[in-house]
Each structure stands twice: as structure tokens, then as C-alpha cells.
Structure 1
């Protein structure tokens, strides 16, 4: 974009920079936490954190989709007493949001999963721990006040998922999220370009060594391991990168609705299917005995050029009605993103990268700050569009950019 096309700048002035310092109170948006993460993390870690599959079209679409929806504000509405508190899977929460499952969080800082859980518990929202997490499920479960969810990958023999479900029950896990769209690993080219045989290239390793703050807080005890599944990995393949490759090779390509039925029979708690997008799959879920679905693309890291959750959210709401919980993930960076998703029919949203930026920027405090920013932006946004409660937030507060364009064309003709 040319300088004169930037609406708030002229000739490159005023110069603008994101805050990258350590005082979290001076962060004014998720973008500040992201900027600090980019300052602190080495290149190969950032490629893992940020990258998408192939041309990254799905990754780009996850953000672009929000820009196609514009608010239609109402004025002269009393918004002096408003709240974004709402139940999440039937339990009260300060906002309808949960932290999405992410793997290899020990790559961002030692104890990353526990720090995410601590930030979530402090704020009062659920944290979903992933199968590929680096802290033991039992250790995370001890975080005071935590609403503990568990994400389940199906790989290897049945004894693996059955043991993970048994442990989840023992830990008091509230909800089980079964990921359905990661059986074939996405072609994440940029992540692969900083690796040789599954390990960082010499250049990437040198860059990592230069990031002393990251190295001393993350690798002081060596590379992390996949603590919850490492006992299932052959002993000769338990090094960090080799174990990740082995688990990827064992992902069950035959995963089907029959597997979901067996998991439903075994797990008596809340069961969510994560990663659905096709209307027929959403309809099938209604008869699968699950408690909800979470629309999403796995953060744009699996199939490229696919639709994203926001593209199908209205249709999904029409299909499920009030028969099950409808969650969605993908691209949440602003509180107003959450408002748009809720207005289009989501019961709650999942956020992954936003809270990971907080983790990289400031550990558990950074996670809490990310949640605080999203909450406060959403609360302010409600007031600005004339909505004082989530009960009043619906499709009527939004207009799609394409419909505005069509209307202008009709008027001009």
C-alpha cells in the first residue's frame, strides 16, 4: 500500500511501532503481545507458531473472513450496565471463550502448558490441554480453579486413546475434544524449510542460540518431551523430533464415525467433535451422541484453500439449532472478532495463537493479559454497537460487505 493510502499516516508519519517491552500493562492489543513474541522467539519456533499449510490461503482466510462483516450500530441505547459473561458448556464464565488445544507448548517456554492453564484459571475460562502437550495431564490438573478440557488425537492402537481417556477421568477433566481433521499432517512448507531430517537447520540452530532469554528459560533442562504419550513411543525413537515424527506416522488414517461411537461409549463426560466444516458432517454429529462441535481448520495448518469456521457458522447454527453446543475457532485476535462469531451463531469461541502470543510474551501473566485484552475489547465493542447483553447480540447487528456492494449497485442503476 502506498504511503498516501494509509488513512492515519502521511509520508510515513507518525511512525508507529508495537510495544515489545516486558510491562504487560503497556500492551494495548494482541498485536503487542505478538510483537514481543517475535522479539523473543527464534525463527524455527516462530515458523511453528505462525505458519500455515502450503500457500497459507486458509490461514489468511481465517483473518480476512472477519473483515467481511461490519457492525450496524444502534444509538441511544443505555449500555451503562453491560456484560459479556456467558455459560460455556453449561458453566458460568466471564466471557464465552476457551483456550484452544495447542501442542509443543514447551517449545515456547518450559512448563508452557501449565502456564496456559494458570492464566486461564486466573481469568475463569477453560483451558484445553492437547495430546501433544509437554506437561503431564496430572500436573496441569492440579492448577487451582482450572476448568480442564482435554484434546484427543487418535493414533496407534486403541489402548492409547483408552488410557488417555482413563487418565482424563481420573484427573476430573470436564470435556473431551476429539480432533477430526489432523489424521494427515498438513504440508507446512515454511516450517519444513528450517528443518533437515526433522531437526533445525544449522542456520536455524545458530539463530536459536542467539536468543539467550528463550534458550535459558526453555532448554535449560533439554528439549521437551511429549509427556502424556512418550511411554507409547518405541524407546529408540523418544528424542524430541524423532518422537514427533513417530506419532505423526501413527495417526489413524481410518478414523471414522465408528471410532467416535466407541469413544462416546467409553467417555461419560462432555464430548466435542473438533474440526468439522461440511454441513453433512455437522448433521451426522447430531446423531452421534456428542454434546457439541467445534468448527475449525486446525489454525490453517491442515488443508489449504478450505472454507473457515466463520464462512459456515450461520449454516451450522441453522443445522444444529439448540440441540448441541456450537463452538468455533480460527483467527480470533480482537474482542470484536468474538462478537462477530457470537452474532453469527456461536455459543463460544476457541482461541489458540492469541494466548500463545501472551505465553511467549510473559508466561502465565501474558496469557491472562491476552484474555483481559479480548474481554475488554469485546465489552467496549458491545457498548459501541448498542448491545448491553449477549442475549441481544444476533445477526441484526451485522452487515456483510458483499451485500452492501450489491445494494450500492442496485441503487446506482
Structure 2
């Protein structure tokens, strides 16, 4: 990890070390990947205002996230199957986040279970919830998160209908893998990955296996696909709040009307997100809708941002447009696939140093001082240059 200079370096190592099906699962988007590309292209159009001869010797990245101190405005987002990028991947990622002083979010679709992670770390972590048709199972999941002392519940609301990811279909992506000749050849060329995963705690969805005891991978996959609830609505959020006693975050907000409804639930935070370009293809980039959502509801709840973060500069852009902190997904998964816990730590460190440098060159010492004044109008898109009144 000593020669890593950016997230793309980690991505290239990840691509070499992990089987194609699992790399593509993390790296690719839905349908034509228009929204996946827009998350990056719109981000890159936002330019900084360079300032000189400003005393920036006392820079600090310290902040708070949901009232808790954090070493920088960053959160590891919920990502499914991270335990197939590296053995016990969820545990390694959580440990790296805690060592860096930032939150980690465990996905419902994780390989290691809530209990696996809780027994392997010393601090609370966040848990992300998908609401399934089997409400008894959902209630049990929430109760397991409570028992594990999870410090926040992240309710993902943009997966009622699953967007098609062409790469997953072409790769025949299943968990555990179903063998074909091409997969056998691919896996055989990555012996370190194979031996690591075989030594891991699990090789299927740790949070879901109790629901389908004794079932094979095909039956489990069918059950999972059938359980995403297309009838999910705002009343279900009320039901979840009646069970969950802690902090609630609603993830998947991309429209002002939905942001206003989310505020009415009393949730402590919302995440402006398009699911990393993995759901509604042709939806706007997360960064393009952020300013308007901040303007409408930013004073009523904490606004987190997700979508296209690959650097500390990107974190600065999102903060300048009103986000309180940012989630990273692919950026840390590339680190995990490249080098386990050390790789995740490297990804966090790269972004942290880039953010600190960018702050210095923009004449800013504190996270709370980052606002639109660090940006220039040069080459900005209309969507991010000025929100509507």
C-alpha cells in the first residue's frame, strides 16, 4: 500500500486480485450506466476557488456526524457482498473505519452477519436496513441490530424495484458462486483470494441465512429477489420508528418532495443518493440535486451525501454545496479488494490527505467553514451553481 497515490490505484489492484464477477458487482452500474457516469462527470465540473497567503497552518478535519465526534466528514457506506471482495471483508472495513475515527455501515446484504461484526469490533457501528415483505423477519433484523448496540439505522428506500445490472447477468453473479468453466479459470488465477475466502467466517448472506435454513443458493436467491417489497411507503417508516429506538437515517433521497416527506418522519438525517448509479438509470447525479435539497430542508435535518466520491476534492465539493458529511462506497471497496483492512485504511487516508490539501489551497482551516465561497462559477453546471428559489 505504500506506493498508492489515489483511489484509482486501489481500483486497478482490486481488479487484478478479485474475480471479475465480484469486481464488476462493486464497480458497475445499472442499464446503460448513464447515472453512474453522471455522478462523476457532474462532480468534476465543479471547480475550486484558489486562495493564497491565508494562514492555513491550523487545519483540522474534525467534525461531528449525528452529534458524535468524527475525525473527518466521512462514512463508509453500506455495500453488499463486501465479504466476497476480501475474506471477512465487513469486519476488516469496520475495523479500518473505527481506527480512522469515522462510522461504518453494515449492509443487510453483508456476508458477515450483524453478530459476526459486533463480536469482532470494540465500538458500535451503523446498520443498513432493506424492508422485506416478511415483516416478522424485518422486525427480527432490527431487534438484532438493537442487541448488537448499533448506533444508527440506515433505511434504504430506493430499492423497491431492482434495477438491472447487465454485468451481473453476464457474469452469472451468485453468492456463493455457481461454477462454470470461465469462472473456474478466473478463480484459479486468483489463489490468494480463493484461500482467503475459504478461511472466512461465511460465504453467503450472514444476515439472511436464518430465514432459509437448509436451502441451497438458488432457493436463497429466489427468496431474496421475491422479498423486496414494492408496496413500501411512508407508513412503513412509522412502523420502523416504533421498533427502532435510536437514530434513523433515510437513504435514497433524490427529490425535494421526498426530502420534505423524510423530514416529517422525524429522521435525524437523510442521504442524498441515487444508489451509486445502480438503480434508476437516467436519474440525475446526486451532486446536481444536492443544493436544492439542502436549501429546502437543510435547516431541519442533517444532510449526508452519497454518489461519486472518489477523492478528498469530491468531499470538499459536496460539503461546499451543503452536505454535512459524505458516504463512500466504491472508494473503500476498491481498497478492501486491493488489500483488506490495510487497503481500506489506505483509501480513507488518501481521501483525508486530499481533503486537507484542498482546504489549505482554498484558504480554509475548519470543516464548518467550507461553503460555496470555496467554489468558482467557472465551468459549473446550472444544477449546482445556484439552487432554485
Question: Shorter chain as normaliser: what TM range?
Answer: over 0.9
Q: Aligned partners of 2:16, 2:328: CA distance in 1, in Å?
A: 22
Q: Aligned partners of 1:346, 1:232: CA distance in 2, in Å?
A: 37
Aligned pair 1:87/2:64, yes or no? yes
1:171-191 alpha-carbon deviations (Å, 9 max, x no partner): 111100011011212110122
8 Å Cα contact 2:109/2:207 also seen in 1: yes
Partner of 1:231: 210
8 Å Cα contact 2:46/2:381 also seen in 1: no
Identify the structure with bigger relative contact order (alpha carbons < 8 Å, sequence gap 6+): 2
Aligned pair 1:397/2:374, yes or no? yes
Q: Aligned partners of 2:173, 2:89: CA distance in 1, in Å?
A: 25
Partner of 2:386: none
2:143 to 142, 147, 166: 166
1:6-38 alpha-carbon deviations (Å, 9 max, x no partner): xxxxxxxxxxxxxxxxxx121111111111111
Partner of 2:191: 212
2:160 to 171, 183, 187: 183
Correspondence 1:108-127 to 2 at 5 A: 108-127=85-104
1:363 to 319, 340, 346: 340
8 Å Cα contact 1:233/1:247 also seen in 2: no
Gaps of 5+ in 1: 1-23, 406-413
Q: CA deviation at 1:305?
A: 0.9
Aligned pair 1:384/2:361, yes or no? yes
1:229-268 alpha-carbon deviations (Å, 9 max, x no partner): 21112633x42x5423421221111000010011112111
Gaps of 5+ in 2: 383-389
Indicate the SS of the match to 1:161: helix
Aligned pair in 2 of structure 1 residues 96, 234: CA closer, same or farther (>3 Å)?
A: same
Indicate the SS of the match to 1:303: coil
1:125-183 alpha-carbon deviations (Å, 9 max, x no partner): 11000101111212212344434000001113111111111111111111000110112
Indicate the SS of the match to 1:299: helix
1:43-95 alpha-carbon deviations (Å, 9 max, x no partner): 11221121110101111111111111000122221001111111011111110
Aligned pair 1:250/2:227, yes or no? yes
8 Å Cα contact 1:121/1:143 also seen in 2: no
Q: Aligned partners of 2:284, 2:344: CA distance in 1, in Å?
A: 29
Q: Aligned partners of 2:381, 2:198: CA distance in 1, in Å?
A: 52
TM-score normalised by the chain length of structure 1: 0.88
8 Å Cα contact 2:42/2:381 also seen in 1: no
